[in-house]
Amino acid sequence: MSEYQALGGRIFTKPFMVLSVIFAISLYFMFDRFVIGGMGAVSNLNGGFAWGIWVVYDVVIGTAFACGGYALAIAVYVFNKGQYHPLVRPAILASLLGYALGGFGAFFDMGRFWQFYEIFLPWNWNFNSVMLEVGLCVAIYILVLAMEFSPALLEKLGKKKLLKSLNKVLFLFIALGILLPSMHQSSLGSLLIAMGHKVNPLWQVMQMQPLLALMTAILMGFSIVLFEASTVTVGFKRNSETHILSGLGKIIVGLLIAFLVVRFGVLTFQGKLGLIFAGDFASFMFILETILFVIPLVILLSPERRAQGSKLLIAGVCMLLAGSLYRFDAFLLTFNPGPGYNYFPSVPEIMITLGVVAFELMAYIVIVKLLPVMHREEHA
């Protein structure tokens, strides 16, 4: 018998219906964007702010939210921490959905979506381009995630032979599933380098961009696992997984300290510490962001607090907000393309993003009910 189980239960619950309404509204605006008016009709994107929430939230932040599978794979398969194994499959599912919809987000942000395949043609490749690395690497990683998740489907379908042969080569996909996010998550930081002066000095750390982006991705990966596991425990009324999660809390502490050391070390080295207290919008955002990074550190440092599910949840949420804000600040909030340009997302633009998130949640709910994703409860 599989160590995983489908949760079962009704599909069309109240939350599911609410989510489907949000998704339906977004379909209307997507139709407008692809068929009637183009991007200008539904978004506030302009000549200075060519990247709005579709890129910055759906892709840059959305894929960081989808780093749970990546972070856990590092813990379980590189550091050989088998006790986190029960969390892996749900995390892989969340990663698959997060990345697939990040890919979809990239598609409807693509100005010339009908020739998206041009980026896959080797004779077009520009090896100087960070975007090329991001595009190809994310595309391959989505396929890798699908392979990593396929055992759940094969178990459900009862394809034992196929499952057995897949398990023999799965280690290759797991290895790729650790390498590829390390590559494109750091590249998401490198995208900022070419934007030069448009990125606020507190976030424009040039050569150090890939390292900071990678560290926040792993941090957010572990935090989303914390968040998802605690939410699922509450939402689906399953036994608490707190004993496993507190160990994750410890890992986050180590990573957070390393991140803050690098972040402030770089700013010190580049002589930018004074800007933190400049009293302008950027300094305010920087301080807010830093507070959000420090709160989970304070919470998770204490073993007593680490043992409490609610505290773990708060720490996870703060960490996710901090990581998101770090990326929002750099790419959008303090981004300054020059005089004459402003950006705030339009309602249709926000609705499309919300619709994508709603679809992601709906898919997650349906799949954990139908496929063996969740670990079988020990005390059931």
Partner 1 sequence: MKRRDFLKTSLGGTVTAAAALGGTVCSGTAQARPNLEPAPEAVGMLFDSTLCVGCKACVTKCKQVNEMPPVIEGDHIAWDSARDLSGDTLNVIKVYQNGDRSTKDVEIDGFCFEKRSCMHCVDPGCVSVCPTTSMQRNPITGIVTHHPDTCIGCRNCMVGCPYNVPQFQYNEVFGQINKCQMCNQKGVERIDNGQMTGCAEVCPTGATLFGPRKLLLQEAKQRMALKKGDTYNYPRGDISKPDNYYEKEVPDYKQHIWGEKEAGGTNVMHISAVSFDKLGMPPLGERSAPSVVEGVQHALYSYLALPAMALAGLTYTVKKNTSDHDDDDGGES
Nearer to partner 1, 155 or 289 (CB): 155
Nearer to partner 1, 19 or 68 (CB): 68
Nearer to partner 1, 3 or 377 (CB): 3
CA dist., res. 218 & res. 71, Å (int): 6
Q: In which element (H, E) is residue 379 found?
A: none
Handedness of CA 72, 75, 80, 81 (dihedral sign): negative
Residue in this structure with the two tokens 């991001």, named with its chain if needed: 134
Q: How far is the CB of 340 from partner 1 (least distance, A)?
A: 6
Q: How far is the CB of 7 from partner 1 (least distance, A)?
A: 17
Nearer to partner 1, 22 or 133 (CB): 133
What is the separation of C-alpha 62 from the centre of its chain, rounded to a whole number of angstroms?
4
**Residue 111 phi, psi (nearest 5):** -60, -30
Nearer to partner 1, 10 or 160 (CB): 160
- Nearest-Å Rg of the Cα atoms of the chain is 21
Q: How far is the CB of 18 from partner 1 (least distance, A)?
A: 31
CA dist., res. 146 & res. 159, Å (int): 16
Q: How far is the CB of 21 from partner 1 (least distance, A)?
A: 26
CA dist., res. 264 & res. 223, Å (int): 22
Q: How far is the CB of 344 from partner 1 (least distance, A)?
A: 16
8 Å CB contact between 321 and 61: no
- Could you give the 3-state DSSP secondary structure of residue 8? coil
Q: How far is the CB of 192 from partner 1 (least distance, A)?
A: 9
Nearer to partner 1, 128 or 380 (CB): 128
Residue in this structure with the two tokens 């997060």, named with its chain if needed: 98
Nearest to 53 by CA among 293, 341, 280, 335: 335
Nearer to partner 1, 140 or 361 (CB): 140
- Could you give the 3-state DSSP secondary structure of residue 326? helix
CA dist., res. 196 & res. 81, Å (int): 41
Q: How far is the CB of 146 from partner 1 (least distance, A)?
A: 14
